[in-house]
Amino acid sequence: MIAATGATGLTALAGCSGGGDGESGTTTGNTDGVTTIEYWRWPHSTDPSNQGEDDIVEAFNEGPGAEQGIEVETVTNPFGDHAQAVRTAIGSNDAPDVAWTFTRQYYDPAGKDRETIEQEASYDYIDNYVDESFLDEFYDPYMNVQESLWGGVVGIPFIGGLSPGLMYVNVDAWNAAGLGDLPEGSWSWEEYLNAVEQINGTEVNGTTVNGTGVGLSDAVSNQEWSSSFIGQISRTAGSLVGNGYENKDGQTVLTAASDPEVDAWNALFGTPIENGWTNNPMAYEHLEMQDPFSSGQVGLLHHTTFSRVEFADQADFEFEIIPYPTKNGDENIAVYGPSIVNATILFTTFKEEVGANPEEAAEFIKFRNNARNQYNWFNTSSQVIPNRESYNLMQEEGVSDFVEQTRGLAVQERVNQAMEDFPAAQEAILNRYSDIATNAAGNPITTTPQSVGSGRVHDAMGGVLQQLAQSNNSDPQGRFTQGEERWGQLIQEAGDTEVDPESIGYNAPEPQAGPVN
């Protein structure tokens, strides 16, 4: 499994443990008719996941790689060093042939067409090298969002995301609080807050339990404000556009300062912070909240899809995955969506001009991510995967005991349902926002510029959450509004982007959140 940071704010995606061999610099070349390509990644956080990755590389080298004269060498960078190592190699025209990337870290395509991106970006479009039939194996949203951002497919996803994540419950703490049956269907914010309050302070196996947990110390540095909080948890209020969208005039419409965002924040985190029903939010990064939950210190936890693997391994109590609470407990609110922009790692290749071998790289990328190999890796890692045909193999051939233990199939089923619901959600967005722009496929563009201002967007919006944590949730409406105003200013100052001035301010435009019927 994988963890992440960077310009798209991604500790919520992959559960990476750090470490690595620290190698840097590429050694690609052609010797005796064999082209050696380097595959740069960071460590998975479990030994089985790393072994599964290595097994696929070995299978390629002994099979299609040997037949095609391609040898893959893996370079494992420490997670915190990976992005800079890739940038340095690109700058030296010594780029890796294949790398895991959050691709917008290396070139932000906001406001650019494909022709411009192809001229300016260091990475190559993978759709130049793979057949449509291969791309069709994946759930449509993973390709649609790339079409929206880049006008084509720049990378192949191998790990998926589920927005806003998963709600975990310490069942022992729930029972100790006398809360009865776990929720199986829709339940309300009010019921959730009651559970948090009742759990808070209970003693379970000698441990005092916080009602809920939240880690915000990296809301700025790892951009967790966008990947785990603002624009994500508002789905529980029925919002489908996150923190903004692009209008038909090419302007960014910001929706962060709005009732759906503030109400969801207050329900899930703000009210518990205000009442002392949480841990100290500034004492932990978002990903670090795995540890207090695993040790029984937290009753309810909004967290990543991959955290369940650690919980299954480390927790000495019963835990379960339960539905998110929603506004009014409305069962027709589309809580889950495919988390594709902020929380998807792509297999990326780079241009020949910066030292890569994109054609050979594409052969490995296709092999690593075909349906069979993604299915095999799922059985090893229990991570959410984006390949529809792999999910079909799960139904036909079953899953490993490890996947059963870590609730992997249950989560993949949620992902599959979110994918099936995606067209209805897209139609709802188009109906709610008549001014929203669409891409060539007719899908609404619900992305916002977050890399403008040299990180100051993250300072502004991540700072909002940290200020709320440090002030016992004082004036969330005002702080969200101030953060959005600063974000809009940074977009405008960037020069090649523009913000709709009428969208700056609280509930501007008027929120269009609710159930999807």
Ordered by start, the domain boundaries in the chain are: 11-161+341-418
Q: Is the peptide bond before 509 cis (omega within 30 degrees of 0)?
A: yes
Give pLDDT tens digits along the chain (517 positions): 223 323 322 223 333 433 344 444 444 556 678 999 999 999 986 787 888 899 999 999 999 999 999 999 999 999 889 999 999 999 999 999 999 998 888 888 877 899 999 999 999 999 999 999 999 999 988 888 888 788 899 999 988 888 999 999 999 999 999 999 999 999 999 999 999 999 999 999 999 999 999 999 999 988 899 989 999 999 999 999 999 999 999 999 999 999 999 999 999 999 999 999 999 999 999 999 999 999 999 999 999 988 998 999 999 999 999 999 999 999 999 999 887 654 467 999 999 999 999 999 999 999 999 999 999 999 998 988 999 999 999 999 999 999 999 999 999 999 999 999 989 999 999 999 999 999 877 889 888 999 899 889 999 999 999 999 999 999 999 999 999 999 999 999 998 889 999 999 999 999 999 999 7
CA angle 54, 227, 219 (to 5 degrees): 110
Task: Read off the pTM.
Answer: 0.82
**H-run or E-run covering 70:** strand 70-76
- What pLDDT does 440 receive? 77
User: What is the pLDDT, as a whole number, of residue 44?
Assistant: 83
Neighbours of 379 (CB within 10 A): 21
Contacts of 190 (CB under 8 A, 6+ apart): none
**Residue type at position 204:** V
Which amino acid does the sequence have at 150?
W
Angstrom CA distances, 89 to 38, 84, 85, 156, 318, stand at: 12, 9, 6, 21, 46
Q: Can you tell me the distance from the alpha carbon of 449 to that of 4, in angstroms, rounded to the nearest whole number?
A: 19
**What is the amino acid identity at position 276?**
G
**453 Rama class: left (phi>0) / alpha (psi -120 to 50) / beta:** left
Alpha carbon distance 106, 109 (integer Å): 10
Two tokens, residue 27: 């050694």
Residue 503 in contact with residue 243, Cβ under 8 Å? no
The amino acid sitting at 64 is P
- CB atoms closer than 10 angstroms to residue 353: 11
Distance, CA of 170 to CA of 134 (rounded, Å): 41
pLDDT at 442: 87
Query: 202: which residues sit within 8 A by CB, 6+ positions away?
Result: 173, 176, 177, 208, 209, 299
pLDDT, residue 428, reads 97
Residue 443's pLDDT is 85
Nearest to 318 by CA among 468, 172, 157: 172
* CATH number of the 11-161+341-418 domain: 3.40.190.10
DSSP 515: -
Tell me which residue of 243, 281, 49 sits closest to 159, measured CA to CA.
49
